[in-house]
Structure 1
Amino acid sequence: MASRLTDAIAGVLDRQGVENGGIETAVPGLRLIRTYGCVPPRHMTYRPSLCLIAQAAKRVMIGDSTLTYGHMQSLVITVEVPVLSEIIDATPERPFIGATLALDPDIILDVVTRMEKAAQPRGPAGLGLVVEEVDERIAAAMLRLIELVEQPAAVDILYPGVMREIAYWLLTSRAAANVARMVLPEGPPQRIAVAIHHLREHFDTPLSVAELAGLAGLSPSAFHQHFKALTSMSPLQYQKHLRLLEARRRMLTEGERAGPAAFSVGYESVSQFSREYARMFGAPPRRETQQARESLVASRGASAALAEAM
């Protein structure tokens, strides 16, 4: 099955003219990726999804936790969270090849409520990222989704059924409790999700943990405990990550200087912003963004050279 997934993903990317990188497909939430070398750690936001690796490996750092997964393993993500992610063990001869599928909460909720009461996942939800061995049944379903990429007329008809199948097998896996509690009302993960949504919408304003706890319908101590269990970081750390990621995006894509970017995301002190930026990204804002631009130009050049050589 691994070789079939690898060949299927590579085949779609080849026919789409993508040598080194990824594409969003016609299948809702399905992204296919291939890189011909290791990719250094990058800060990004993960959203609820199933991330499957057919070849090579990735390392993900979230708060105090580090997760590594590779050949025919997946990362089941059930909480929206900022992470540090890198591709490892990839070479020009054996590139990283993988697929990411956004989890459909409506389909998951329908599946879990149709399950027999005794079969419904039980137990507390843990960290919102779980590494799993890829079940043959999930692998087969993912292969069918990949085959739909070049059959757009069939997507609307066939996608819901295949997604229901994937949801069912996830709800019988090690990540079952996390997946179920992502959608079931009134559970702590669903309540924390409400607070996370508010944080994302208002990350540039002063944070009140008491207000967030109130939105979640939890006491401040219970809120902090559940938030930390799901995201491996405190609400304050989470907000800081969101602010710094947005500031970096503004500087890289919109050309903002450090000062305006800092104020736009809620910092009152440029020096504090610069210190925290350097701790997170490894260099002060101006130097790090310049290095990032140079790295992007170099990687595009390398991709073009690789395409010509092949």
Structure 2
Amino acid sequence: MKKRRLGASGLKVSEVGLGCNNFGMRIDQAETKAVVDAALDAGITLFDTADIYGGTKSEEFLGKALGKRRGDIVLATKFGMQVGDDENRRGGSRRWIMRAVEDSLTRLGTDWIDLYQFHQPDPDTPIDETLRALDDLVTQGKVRYIGNSNFSGWQIGDADWTAAGATRFVSAQNQYSLLERKVEFEVLPACEHFGLGFLPFFPLASGLLSGKYRRGEKPPEGTRLAAWGSRAAAALSDRNFDKVEKLTTWAEERGHTILELAFAWLLGHQVVSSVIAGATSAEQVRTNAATAAWALTPEEVKEVGDLIS
């Protein structure tokens, strides 16, 4: 597994990262360990979780599964979305950040977080307050680097300007896939300009780019879209299937699957540092990790993008 720099920082991460949102929600502790073990064996070094995943169980399960191997990986977690039913346990205020980081450190069973990410913008708190609190955590050694998630392009620029010599965001994490490309308008250009590494989540468009769904058929039992019920109708639209079929043909003509293409196309963008994908089994981890072997040329990246524009 190759590694890439996370933006303009000195931190390097594996080209494929492991999203840990299924831990404590769709899989238990034993299954989590199997997924983590497979990820480590495959050369994955970026493990991405959040305080809210699995009702806080994700961090706990991940910490236990890593054990003494914690120092071998880049541990990324997030804060900012509401934890539980208490409206005070959310946001980017100094008061909450200082409590949130201690809670995450305890659940993860570690003394430091490699990448601490602001999960979503907080309209009630000045970004300056958030950044100063995060800068203090870096100074204290509890956090190594900081990132943002679900920020717009102007918010990325505003945060970089506001940091003014203090600790800057080194990464941005937003939804991005062959079927969801809104970030191309503002977010990716902002990341390139300000030196942030981009971390796309939902690279398989909730499974649509995995090859497991068929036009006119119900989602297979146990899949993400099957659990969505009526909400899955928008994702399983004819418009999306038109694109999926074009992409499937393009990949198969070159001896690959649409799943491999989904990862390779994202990694074909220089601003992308790692593609984060969730998994519920060791086999799924190994499949995702293997996709990093296919490298598209810049011309192929453009061709694929144009194919479904």
Question: Please, what TM-score do these two structures have when normalized by structure 1?
Answer: 0.30
* Structure with the higher fraction of residues in helix conformation: 1
Higher relative contact order (CA 8 A, sep 6+): 2
* Structure with the higher fraction of residues in strand conformation: 1
Bigger radius of gyration: 1
